[in-house]
Structure formats: C-alpha cells, structure tokens
Chains A and B, each alone.
Chain A
Amino acid sequence: MTYTPVEPIVTARLGHDDSHTLARALATGGYDGLRRALGRTPEEVHEDVKTAVLQGRGGAGFPAGAKWGLLPGSKFPRWVVVNGDESEPGTYKDRILMERDPHQLIEGALICAYAVRASQVFLYVRGEMALAQERLVTALNEAYAAGYVGRGIMGSDWSMDVTLHWGAGAYIVGDETALLESLSGRRGMPRPKPPYFPAAIGLYDQPTIVNNVETLSNLPWIMLNGGEAYAALGSEKTHGTRLFAVSGHVRRPGTYEVGSGTVTFRDLFYDPRLGGGIREDRAIKAFIPGGGSSPWFFEEHLDLPLDPTVVGPAGSMLGSGAIVAMDETTDMVKAAWRLVRFYAVESCGKCTPCREGTAWLEKIYQRILSGNGRPEDLDLLADVGSNISPGPFPGPGLAPGDKPFAPFPYKKTTICDLGPSAVSPVMSSLRRFRGEYEAYINAATPTTEPAEVA
C-alpha cells in the first residue's frame, strides 16, 4: 500500500492561525452543516449518519448511527454528552480538535442533538486541558451571542443549550458510564454492565448518547456532503478519515489525518510526509497500535493496514488512534512498567482484581527494576494478569509468524476495560522480550534493604 494524502475532513480548518474563532469558522463553511441538517427531519439526518457508517473514534469503534438507534423511542428528556476526556496514553487528537476547531465540535454536537431529539448537550472536557476549556468557552459564548446555539438557532424554531463541563483528573472517566457518574457530580466509577450502552439508562437515568470529540467533528462534513460520500472514503470496511497521533521514536511525531484503513503502520512510521522514519535510522522493536491499553505489535505487523477489522483479529486494537513507536534501544521492562504504573495509579478501586492486581503488578515491576527480582516473578506477573483477564490474553504470538494468542477484545473479571488494559503491556513484553526480564533478574543483587515500592 502506498500512502496517498486525502482531503482532510476534521482538520480542514487547522491551517489557519485563527481556526478557533467564529469569524474563521463562518468564513470557511462553519455551521453550514447544521443549517443543512435543520432543513431536514431528525430521522433523515440520522439515516444519513447511518449510511456514512461513522465509527466511534473513542476506542470501541461502534458506529455512531447505530448507537443513536439504541435510544428508546418515546423516553424524554434525553441528553447528548460529548466525551472530551481524552487521557489514553499516547492520545493527542481530541485536544487538537477542541483547541483549534471548537466550533466544528459544537456544530457536530448540535447536529447529533437534533438527530436524536435531545434536550440538552453537555460538553465534558478533560480537566487538565486549560486551553481547550478556554477555547470552547469562548466559542460557546460567541456562538450563543450570534444565534448558533441557544434559543431559536439560526432563526429556526429549534433550540438547544450546550453546557460546558470540566473534569478534574481521572482517566477512568473516559469510560462512558464513569463519565456520566462524574457528570452527575460523583466519584467517576464505571457502572455495572449491562446495560452496555447508556442509550437506555444514562445521565440521571435518562436516555443518553455519549460520543467522542473526533466522531462528532465529522458530522458537519457528512451533512454537507452526504453519508454516501463519506462511506465512499477510506477502505471497504472502514470509512471516512481518521486522525492518528504518532509519537515515540519517530522523526516527525505528529497528528495525521489519513483515509480510514488506507495506510499501513509502515506508511505511518516511514513515509516522509508522515512519521518520517525511526530516529537515527534505528530498527523498530515494537509499537503500540492503539493507545497504552492495546497489546503491542512488532516488526512483522508493519504492513497491516490501520483498519480495525484487520487489527482486531491480529490481537490488538486501533483504540483511540494513538500510535507509539519504540526503537531497538528501548528497555522493554521499563516501558511496560511505566504503562502498568499508569493503570495502577488510575484504577478507580471499584473492582478488586483491578484495584489489587494493578498495584501488585506495579510492585513486582519495582522489585525487578530495583535489582531485587526473583525468577518466579515472571510467572507471578502472568498469574496476576490472568486474574484480571482470564484465558489466553490477546496479542501476537511468541515469535514472528506465530498465530496471535487470542483476537481482541480481552476477557475480563472487571466492570470496565482499565484492568485488562494494564495486562496488555505486561503480556506483550513478557512474551516477546522474556530475555530482558531474565537479564534484570540474573543481574539482581538482592539487598536486605526493602525494595522501593512506591
């Protein structure tokens, strides 16, 4: 596959320095998609989004049109909640969209609210993103004053309020049921599932649609160009464009919008218009294909297309579009530890296997890295992992060419995916780089001092 640049959809306005202002939005077609939507019935808008097969960009990839279809027909009020709590390690794309094109997001959220006959929109922005909050507040104030949000939008008889809400630092709130708990003014802990979707029982126990920032940012384009045009972009199984944040040991780390399913990991890392190759021309040792939660890929996966229907059976996921390259000099034990620490810190504590398991995994890593590792620690890591995610863990096989252990998604003993996510770096590194763990353990010089188990 060779990389062919595509006409950008969600980043089209980003070339302008003032892309976040209402003036620039209006000069470049902003709110035209909403105007088009308001000229149709909500059912027609919904139908168009179904035709587009707009897959969710938050991680799970469930099509937005199908998600909206899960709403019970006659239950009101119902809400639209924008999930702008992007915190997956490696993910960058939603912040860019919120900071640099807030009006596109507001327009998309309004189109969604119109299609599902919502009563109000809540825009939940991650707490740590002060600039995104500032830009969205300014954009909302401008849009309210100019009649694009609020009462009688653009002279029509349709009205919609948008409330900006901001979080306070909790990765788990990215889970949509935890997001709703947090938006209700509570500790952001996921709700037991089923119900799997908050469409039936969501915010304040009312029907609720939760959509990701990038997902909603696609809606204005779909309204202007039609669902069929959107579905025609990308590959056969995945449509439109997608944003990928490429970081780690590449020459040109950045956020790139590419045709969905039309580029490979190799293109993304090596094409001079994208990642530009691995730094200092080193070899790639492993890469994370879809954020810290995804099982790692290796050199033999470079030619897979960035298509969820291919990546899933290969044992991983595209998740939130965060791709991290690790070159041959990377210490895989340390890299795995740092990801495990993240999940140990961010575990909300609701489910025992995750609360205890992630903390123990992290302590075992501390022991190994501090030179106190024991040979049995490696089986212990796998055992603790299997208590969080039983059965063969998804991910590539032991050697290049081996079949994957299991396709994605992982099994779990927990309510949400945070626990099994912590097992991803453990099993990925342990299977392929067991030697590096053993080197740490063989070089261990156990001390009588207690190991640092922060």
Chain B
Amino acid sequence: MSRLSPERAAVAREIIARYPVPRSALIPLIHLAQEQDGYVAEDAMEHIAELIGCTPAEVLGTGSFYEMFKFHPVGRYVVGVCTNISCLLAGGDDLLAHAEESLGVRVGGTTEDGLFTLEDVECVAACTEAPCLQVNYRYFPRQTSGSFDALIADLRAGSLDGVVPHHGTLARVRQHVDPDRWAASGSAPPRLPDRHPGPALSESAPQPGLPRTRAAGAPAGRPDPPARGADPQR
C-alpha cells in the first residue's frame, strides 16, 4: 500500500528526534505504518528506511522478529485469545475452540468479511483475570463463550468503536514535547554513532544485495537526521 502520509511522516520525525540514534526509532515507526494501513506495507517500509537512514531490508529484517507486526493485511480486529498457563487453567483452550467455531476460522485465519483475525496468543499479563483475550491489544477479561459472542456482536455492530480502534492503533495519544520543555534541545546533546551502521546507499553504485530499488523520487543517500547535530560516522 502506501508510504507514510505527510502527517505521519512529521510524527515520525518527531519520534526520531527523541533518540540519540535515529535507528532506535525503527520499531515505533513500524508501528506508525501499521497504524496507518492496518499492516506494514512495503512502501511504508521503504519510507521508514529513508527516514531512519537504513535499508528497507533492515526494516523488514528487524520488524519480522516481532510478533505484533503483520506484513500482510489482517482483519480490522485482531482477536488474541490467551491460552498460556493461567488462562489454560481457567479454560482458555475451550474459549479458543469456541472462538474458532463461532467465527468460523481456524487460528491465524481471517473471517471472510475481513473483520476478524483470530490468534492463539502467549501470556498478555492479565493472569488474575483469566481467561482473557485482547482485541487490538485492548483487554477483555474473564471471558466465557457467551461473553465472547456478545463481544463479537458488539464489535460487528460498531458499538465498541470508541474503545477498540482498528488494528495497528496502540496509544491514541502521542508523546509530544514542547521544544522549550525538551531538555536536550538547544544544548549540544550526545549524538552517537550507530553500533552497526548499515551499508551506505549511494546513487552511483546501487547495492546489489538490496531486495528492491528505492521508490522513484526518494532521496538516495542516507538522509540527514532530522535534528540534533551531526552523525560522527559520516
């Protein structure tokens, strides 16, 4: 799908500026892409690589380590039923079996209407409220078959739209610091070299190992970090 929208790209630059090393912003930026499209689109990964100054392969290579990132479209709601020990003891596996039957999909599958993707997840830290499930990482504790069906009906009807945003949205508030309040702005903050700098991209000699060429019109070299001093590596 798409590159980050201008608004999200601005947010991305703000996030990057809060770290001494731009690469640290990689995971938050992949979340930003997933928030935009519901999954992590290829063009978005290229855009992130440009913003951070690494290769798209490094974005995918890092992102694919983490379970929350989806690299293909998923349902509007990702329903994660916990079946780890505390939930298992409280009937989490029965709940999951009911969820499969009720939604008509197996674990990992998405309903035909594109609304629900079902997952069998690991401990989500709600053990004292077992069995528990999350919809787009919002908690729904002490579930039964009945409450599960009611929850799905509410989600279908849109009556939980204020509680559960679409997949990819985590905190609905962004960290924002007035530049006057940010302690490091204005002074000379430490900007450190990246420990393992990626291969520098150059216009004249494209890297043969890169999986895809950059999008047309995109800057080729490692872009300047958006704020705060110079990268001593360069």
Residues of A near any B CB (own CB < 8 A) = 76-77, 86-92, 94-95, 119-120, 126-131, 133-134, 137-138, 140-141, 144-145, 147, 149-151, 159-161, 163-171, 182-188, 204-206, 245-249, 253-255, 288, 292, 322, 324, 326, 330, 334-335, 338-339, 342, 345-346, 348
Contacts and interface: CB of A to CB of B under 8 A. Distances in A.
Contacts of B123: 87-91, 292, 342
Nearest to B82: A89
A365 B222 CA distance: 49
B162 interface: no
Given A94-B125, A134-B172, 10 more contacts: A90-B85, A91-B125, A128-B134, A131-B138, A150-B181, A161-B177, A161-B183, A185-B52, A247-B89, A346-B122
Contacts of A186: 23, 26, 62, 196
Contacts of A169: 66-69
A315 to B, nearest CB: 19
Contacts, number: 203
B62 A185 contact: yes
A9 to B, nearest CB: 20
A76 B20 CA distance: 13
14 contacts: A87-B123, A90-B127, A127-B66, A133-B171, A138-B173, A168-B30, A182-B27, A184-B24, A185-B62, A204-B21, A254-B128, A324-B89, A342-B122, A342-B123
Nearest to A252: B128
B171 A134 contact: yes
B66 A119 contact: no
B229 to A, nearest CB: 13
Nearest to B65: A187
Chain A CB within 10 Å — which of B62, B68, B123, B194 has the most? B123
A327 B182 CA distance: 53
B173 A338 contact: no
A168 B39 CA distance: 13
A278 B153 CA distance: 34
Contacts of B192: 77, 204, 206
Nearest to B124: A128
B24 A171 contact: no
A130 B85 contact: no
- Ranked 7 nearest A-B pairs via Cβ: A185-B26, A168-B66, A159-B183, A169-B67, A247-B127, A185-B23, A169-B68
Contact of B175 (A131, A140, A204): A140
A394 B178 CA distance: 53
Given A133-B171, A163-B18, A185-B26, A338 B83 contact: yes
A185 B195 CA distance: 11
Contact of B31 (A92, A168, A185): A168
Contacts of A324: 85-86, 89, 127
A127 B68 contact: yes
A395 to B, nearest CB: 17
B155 interface: no
Residue among B30, B31, B171, B192 facing the most chain A CB atoms (10 A cut-off): B171
B19 interface: yes
Interface in B155-202: 169-178, 180-184, 189-190, 192-196
B24 A128 contact: no
A133 B61 CA distance: 25
B195 A184 contact: yes
Interface residues of B, number: 64
B13 to A, nearest CB: 14
B125 A126 contact: yes
Nearest to A254: B128
Contacts of B24: 165, 183-185
A166 B139 contact: no
B128 A204 contact: no
B170 A127 contact: yes
Contact of A89 (B86, B90, B176): B86
A253 B25 contact: no
A374 to B, nearest CB: 25
Contacts of A151: 180-183
Contact of A338 (B20, B69, B85, B169): B85
Interface in B107-131: 122-130
A166 B183 contact: no
Interface in B70-112: 83-86, 88-90
B221 interface: no
Contact of A92 (B19, B66, B126, B173): B126
A166 B31 contact: yes
B136 interface: yes
B122 to A, nearest CB: 5
B127 A168 contact: no
Given A131-B138, A292-B123, A342-B123, A185 B85 contact: no
Given A184-B195, A187-B61, A133 B127 contact: no
Contacts of A166: 27-28, 31, 170-171
Contact of B127 (A130, A204, A253, A334): A253
Contacts of B19: 163
B63 interface: yes
A92 B26 CA distance: 27
A190 to B, nearest CB: 13
Contacts of A164: 175
Nearest to B84: A89
Nearest to A134: B171
Nearest to A173: B66
Contacts of A133: 170-171
A167 B68 CA distance: 9
A140 B90 CA distance: 36
Contacts of B127: 89-92, 245, 247-248, 253, 322, 324
A145 B14 CA distance: 17
B27 A185 contact: yes
Contacts of B23: 184-186
Contact of A77 (B20, B61, B138, B181): B20
